[in-house]
């Protein structure tokens, strides 16, 4: 694979049988063909309330204001994805693509409120070893598509899988939740 997948969406196809990723939409945060890839599942809100230590960030947290399950790896680690107010480099933020980036939660939340429009918090992440993701894509497990700036903070995360596929057009937008009903 010649171009980086960082900043792109991985949309689970019907070929993907791992239940961790059933109808998942993953934002790829980091990618290296030899080292592997890491990302967060954007459409898995949990019922867990946010830890009190994150209260200073509350004004930026997109609805629904819960912790999202970012993936099966390192679930005790919180990853913050934020949307920058302007397309520029920020001190508390590492760009992934355009105005979407990873926020350093140890930075000043008050300053971040002037630089960011919204954030979402993820427990854990999805990860792939070098070559693993490319093999999964080649086998048809994932569609690789462009992300829009609001995908990481969409208000209705349960609708994201279908919404992203609908933006692409084609047959997969009509796939029922249970393919056996087809």
Here the CATH number for the domain that contains residue 160 is: 3.40.1740.10
pLDDT for 174 = 61
Q: Is residue 2 part of a domain?
A: no
Evaluate whether residue 70 is within a structural domain. yes
Q: What pLDDT score does 136 carry?
A: 95
Contact 87, 103 (CB under 8 A): no
The pLDDT of residue 90: 76
* pLDDT attached to residue 91: 76
In a domain, 34, yes or no: yes
Structure confidence at residue 178 (pLDDT) = 58
Contact criterion met (CB below 8 Å) for 132 and 1: no
What gap in Å lies between CA 100 and CA 36, rounded to an integer? 20
* E-only strand ranges, the chain: 8-12, 25-32, 36-41, 68-69, 73-84, 93-97, 100-103, 116-129, 142-146
Place of tokens 């080292």: 35
Residue 182 domain flag: no
What token pair was written down for 94? 């590492």
Instruction: Please report the pLDDT score of residue 66 as a whole number.
Output: 93
- Within a domain: 180: no
pLDDT value for 158: 95
- The tokens of 161 are what? 């899988």
Q: Using CB atoms within 10 A of its CB, is residue 125 exposed (0-12), middle (13-18) or buried (19+)? A: buried
Counting beta carbons within 10 angstroms of the beta carbon of residue 41, is it exposed (0 to 12), middle (13 to 18) or buried (19 or more)?
buried
* 122 belongs to a structural domain: yes
Burial (CB count within 10 angstroms: exposed 0-12, middle 13-18, buried 19+), residue 110: exposed
Q: What is the pLDDT along the chain (182 residues), one digit of tens a residue?
A: 557 899 999 999 988 889 999 999 999 999 998 999 999 999 999 998 888 889 999 999 999 999 999 999 999 999 999 999 887 777 778 999 989 999 999 999 998 989 999 999 999 999 999 999 999 999 999 999 999 999 999 999 999 999 999 888 866 656 555 555 55
Q: Which domain holds residue 114?
A: 8-174
pTM for this entry = 0.91
Residue 35: inside a domain: yes
Count: domains in the chain: 1
């Amino acid at each position: 694979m010649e171009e980086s997948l960082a900043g792109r969406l991985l949309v689970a196809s019907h070929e993907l049988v791992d239940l961790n990723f059933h109808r998942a939409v993953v934002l790829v945060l980091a990618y290296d063909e030899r080292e592997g890839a890491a990302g967060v599942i954007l459409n898995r809100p949990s019922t867990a309330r946010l830890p009190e230590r994150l209260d200073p960030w509350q004004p930026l947290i997109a609805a629904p204001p819960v912790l999202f399950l970012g993936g099966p790896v390192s679930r005790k680690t919180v990853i913050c994805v934020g949307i920058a107010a302007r397309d520029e480099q920020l001190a508390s933020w590492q760009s992934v693509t355009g105005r979407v980036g990873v926020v350093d939660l140890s930075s000043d939340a008050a300053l971040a409120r002037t630089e960011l429009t919204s954030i979402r918090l993820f427990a854990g992440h999805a990860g792939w070893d070098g070559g693993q993701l490319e093999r999964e894509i080649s086998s048809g497990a994932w569609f690789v598509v462009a992300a829009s700036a609001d995908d990481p903070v969409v208000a209705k995360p349960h609708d994201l899988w279908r919404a992203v596929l609908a933006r692409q057009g084609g047959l997969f937008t009509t796939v029922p939740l249970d393919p056996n009903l087809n």
